[in-house]
Chain A
Amino acid sequence: MKPVVHLSAAVALLGRFPALAGIDLDVARGEIVLLRGPNGAGKTTLLRACAGLVPVVRGEAVVLGRDLRRHPRAIRRRVGLLGHVTGLHDDLTVGENVRFWGRAARTEPADVEAALALTGLDGRLRDVPVAELSAGQRRRTSLACLLARRPELWLLDEPHAGLDAGARDQLDALVVQAVGQGATVLMASHELDRAQALAHRVVDLVAGRTITPGATGAGADVGGADADRVDVEPADVGGADVSAAADRAPDLAGAPVPGAEPVPVPPVEPVPPAGRPGTEGAPSPASVATPDVEASPAAPGAEVSPVAAPGVEPSHVA
């Protein structure tokens, strides 16, 4: 079965800086994959690249069976991104915002209603202008917009940020249930306890690259975001030197920090089976409401470290 996300030696630039410096990643349908790494590691850029918002300039990038470099717009229709920004109109109500983005994605009115209900926004809040909402309520509204779009691939960037405990539990349940209906989730989070419990596997990122098992110590305990930044001269961009710079990046990032103690990842309980590999199409919010949890997908890919994999102790910088 073809992976939902397939990146091979993918390079993406932010200005002159290779924010993704040769990423290798495969995500199977029905998986929940957690991206983990220090600030500046490229987690957000990777999510935005998968959404077609940051161009991949080199390497192989296939998302939902389409070449990301050639068909970014076609892919975006099938992808939902919950990022740092809300994408909401302050002067419109919660219901109007969700309806607009749902209709833009050509989903049915019933899907919009289901999305509002699933996020608990179908009551009084539905008619409240977004400008009057708290940060957490705005986040829930953004989540409702994502649900209304019925994406096949969920890209969640710090999804728990700004949410209270109840809303976090609700989000986790929605993710698990959506995956049970065939969706795939790629998320980045610094709230590792919660996110690791949700994820089927964890991918460590440092300096815009994935870390192979056994080499995770290289990415551990990076002494600050700047340690993993490698500037590339303009002449290097697009040429072979980008790879050279990328090759140097992990070494720089992985340099041991004097006096720093490794931070072991706490043991993680096995994640309940949630995936349904082989399911085609996006889950309907209405159907998401009904738990449909079946088998868990296998965790393919040799470049990643499975959650709580024995012998691998990926540490992190929170």
Chain B
Amino acid sequence: MWRDAVLVARRDLRIELRSRVAISQVGPFAVLVLMLFAFALDPDRGVLDRATAGLYWVAVLFSGLLALGRSAAIDEADGVREGLRMSGLEPGGVFLGKAAAVAAQLLALEVLLGAGVVVLYDAEPAGPLLLVATCLAATAAVAGAGTLYGALVAGLRVRETMLPLLLLPALAPVLIGATRAFEAALDGVPADGWPWCGLLAAFAVLYSVAGALAYGALLEGQ
């Protein structure tokens, strides 16, 4: 299964690098979202300071939706999904590979947005360990849930609009947990953030296991 996951992750990342959509569209979109928040809240810097963590994760989620949509679209091309069914690849491995590729893109996005909030919002990173752990756990949760829901809506003609409608409510707990953990880190009280980070890790495990187990049935059900 792990071998299959590596094979699929490398394929997805190679396709993304080759298409340059992540670089030319997803990244600029993420920065644009941050800038628009900054413009909207600039008159009251206090609000911007207090909302930095939440705005950061909202920007991550919105931009991540583009990456997740792209990931799902890879397998919708000209019989690729049928090829995956015929390939002999372990469905769990396909899921983990796709989730890993999305996670890699999300991490790159989070680094970019992290630089953005420092520059645009004057944020001062503190509690680096908690920040990194939160990013890793939240990324795994978003990638796992997004890949799972991407497979769920695959084959629908309205999948591009259906994916955010289904996924964003499911990710609400992740958004809350990541925001609280980041707030604790930015406020200099990391101890308050670790329970939230644990919650994120639990969500990541839950979505990853559920996705690995359900992906075969979803692949067959298209």
Binding site for B on A (CB under 8 A): 51-53, 73, 76-77, 79-81, 83-92, 96, 100-101, 103-106, 129, 145, 149
Contacts and interface: CB of A to CB of B under 8 A. Distances in A.
B79 A92 contact: no
Contacts of A80: 86
Interface of B: 4, 7, 11, 14-15, 18-19, 74, 77-80, 82-89
Given A76-B86, A87-B82, A104-B89, A92 B18 contact: yes
A317 B84 CA distance: 34
Contacts of B19: 91
A21 B7 CA distance: 40
A145 B96 CA distance: 24
Contacts of B83: 87, 101, 145
Given A86-B78, A89-B11, A105 B88 contact: yes
A308 B14 CA distance: 51
Given A76-B88, A81-B86, A129-B18, A100 B79 contact: no
17 contacts: A51-B86, A53-B85, A76-B85, A77-B87, A88-B78, A88-B79, A88-B80, A90-B77, A90-B78, A100-B7, A101-B83, A101-B87, A104-B7, A104-B84, A104-B88, A106-B88, A149-B87
A184 to B, nearest CB: 16
Given A53-B85, A87-B80, 12 more contacts: A53-B82, A76-B86, A83-B82, A85-B79, A86-B78, A87-B78, A88-B80, A89-B74, A89-B80, A91-B14, A91-B18, A104-B84
A83 B74 contact: no
Contacts of B7: 100, 103-104
A282 B30 CA distance: 50
Contacts, number: 66
Binding site of B, secondary structure by majority: helix, strand, loop or mixed? helix
Contacts of A73: 88
A79 B85 CA distance: 11
A85 B79 CA distance: 5
A79 B18 CA distance: 30
Chain A residues touching B, majority SS: loop
B108 to A, nearest CB: 18
A51 B80 CA distance: 15
A149 B89 CA distance: 12
Nearest to B88: A77
Contacts of B4: 104
Top 4 A-B residue pairs of the complex, sorted by shortest distance between their CB atoms: A85-B79, A87-B83, A77-B88, A104-B87
Contacts of A89: 11, 15, 74, 77, 80
A241 to B, nearest CB: 26
Nearest to B4: A104
B79 A87 contact: yes
A92 B15 contact: yes
Given A100-B7, A103-B7, A86 B89 contact: no
A51 B15 CA distance: 28
Contacts of B18: 91-92, 129
A86 B82 CA distance: 10
B77 A53 contact: no
Nearest to A48: B82
Contacts of A81: 82, 86
Nearest to A90: B77
Contacts of A84: 79
Nearest to A84: B79
Contacts of B87: 76-77, 101, 104-105, 149
A76 B90 CA distance: 12
Contacts of A90: 77-78
Contact of A86 (B74, B79, B86): B79
Which of A84, A85, A92 has its CB near the most chain B CB atoms (within 10 A)? A85
A215 B33 CA distance: 70
B220 to A, nearest CB: 8
A80 B78 CA distance: 16
Nearest to A100: B11
A236 B41 CA distance: 64
